[in-house]
Amino acid sequence: MRLKPLFASVLTAAAVMSAAHAQERRVPNPTELRLSYAPVVQRVAPAVVNVYAAKTVQQVRNPLFDDPIFRRFFGAPGGPGGPNQVQRSLGSGVIADASGLIVTNVHVIEGADDIKVSLADKREFEASVVLKDPRTDLAILRLKDTRETFPFLDFANSDALEVGDIVLAIGNPFGVGQTVTHGIVSALARTQVGVSDYQFFIQTDAAINPGNSGGALVDLTGKLVGVNTAIFSRSGGSQGVGFAIPANMVQVVLTSAKSGGSAVKRPWLGAKLQAVTPEIADSMSLKRPAGALISSIVANGPAAKAGLKPGDVIISVDGQPVDDTNAFDYRFATRPLGGTSKLGTLRGGKEIAISIALQTAPETPREEITIRSRSPFSGAKVANLSPALADELQVQNADSGVVILDVDNGSYASNLGFQRGDVIDEVNGAKIARTGDLDRITKTPSAGWRINLIRGGQKISAVFNG
């Protein structure tokens, strides 16, 4: 008799559970069923473009072609340098302004004689380079011969990204046409990628392949969070480790382009930094090897005026953490010019906040020239060094004198091993203070050349025959 009510209660409970289970398994209506990124893609896709770059290169000429007997009997192509060949590269870009300004990577358009941009609606435009910033691998292009208003992407605050956020990558992988992939933010503040001076990347597992360079990485609101620029790959294709330049850095370059500048203007610290190693951390009684250690201060620079000292360790910029020198470079470079920034600093085991002015490094007339006279510097493009140029080239232990900007391939200077960033200190005992000094000395024939230069902060001496 007692089993009956118990059995009845069990049936009642089972009936309730069955009804609840049936409610959970009901067929959703079409609105609920459609979970899609399509609305975001439809909004973003028109602002992502394909970038085609072409450059003409001269093929290496066989020396036999210069022999008149060989040419007489066998014939040879005319011209002093052999036939020309056109090399083409393919990448992506993002329309960042309604007037037709486009962000892409420097490596996509480097050395190009002709640049074409194809929009999502299949129209093609020629484009010109407004600004190139090799330090970030970012370039700004402008569409030619057009006055229409173009769709463009708004920028997100990339510092607000978190690991696990969903992102979409849009570009033109392998030239197959505009393609969308999705993934998450796998990591932030990646600093060991090695593709530009500013090592501070967003890592994503959204598929990025050759041709995606310069394309958009967007969040689910359709805002640009980064510009895709590199992958880690053993096969050449996507293996789930891609890197994007944060939107906050892209904005700095775009702002400089809009202002009409030929170079990107960034805040200048006026100090040299070095990594905090475990050994340094132990010697300074730091809790962990993190931050950026000030090794030297430039006289009368912003750091000196703010009261920073050698031995200080910078651990934050305006509340954003600084784990290493790369993180500091990014955080400081993305601060707006004209105001101040607060640096969290460790000094003598205590944390202090130091306010520093956000101003550019002093610039002097560069007076760029290319040495053509017979000398070891033949084919070298040089300029007057200033704090601004020293910061741009990451020159150590020098902020005045004459620096090499570039070296022509195959030139005498190139064959002797001169490099971009070499600071020419003395030639044949004469101090080189301006480009005119070097030009004058190299025009004077000499049986030998004694040269002192600074490379990577180290002094080097060399002797060459005339």
The predicted-structure confidence for 223-247, as pLDDT tens digits, reads as follows 999 999 877 656 666 667 889 999 9
pLDDT of 234 reads 61
Q: Is 212 exposed, middle or buried (0-12, 13-18, 19+ CB in 10 A)?
A: buried
Measured CA to CA, the distance from residue 40 to residue 284 in angstroms comes to 50
**Residues 391-438: pLDDT tens digits?**
888 887 777 889 999 998 888 898 889 999 999 999 999 999 999 999
pLDDT of 3 reads 35
- Which are the catalytic amino acids? 107, 137, 213
pLDDT of 29 reads 60
Statement: residue 374 has pLDDT above 80? yes
Mean pLDDT of the chain: 84
**Residues 421-432: pLDDT tens digits?**
999 999 999 999
Q: In terms of CATH architecture, what is 158-258?
A: Beta Barrel (2.40)
Between the CA atoms of 388, 390, 394 and 398, what dihedral angle is there, to the nearest 10 degrees?
-150
The CATH number of the structural domain formed by 369-465 is: 2.30.42.10
Q: pTM here?
A: 0.77
Statement: residue 14 has pLDDT above 50? no
Mean pLDDT within 263-271: 90
Does domain 271-357 fall into CATH 2.30.42.10?
yes
The residue behind tokens 């970012």 is 138
Statement: residue 16 has pLDDT above 70? no
Asked if 271-357 and 369-465 have one fold, the answer is: yes
pLDDT of 299 reads 86
Q: Which helix (H) or strand (E) holds 293?
A: strand 292-297
Measured CA to CA, the distance from residue 78 to residue 71 in angstroms comes to 10
DSSP summary character for residue 146: -
Lowest-pLDDT choice from 36-50, 79-93, 448-462: 79-93
The residue behind tokens 């895709």 is 228
**Residues 278-301: pLDDT tens digits?**
999 999 988 889 999 999 998 889
pLDDT of 450 reads 92
Measured CA to CA, the distance from residue 424 to residue 455 in angstroms comes to 9
Q: Where are the domains of the chain?
A: 43-143, 158-258, 271-357, 369-465
Determine what percent of the chain is predicted with pLDDT higher than 70: 82
Q: What does the DSSP assignment read for 207-244?
A: ---TT-TT-EEE-TTS-EEEEEEEE--SSSS--S-EEE
**Residues 310-354: pLDDT tens digits?**
999 999 999 999 999 989 999 999 999 999 999 999 998 899 999
- Fold held by 43-143: Thrombin, subunit H (2.40.10)
Residue type, 257: A
Which are the contacts of 303, defined by CB distance < 8 A and separation ≥ 6? Answer: 269, 270, 271, 294, 297, 356
The residue behind tokens 């050449």 is 236
The dihedral sign for the CA sequence 331, 454, 275, 106: positive
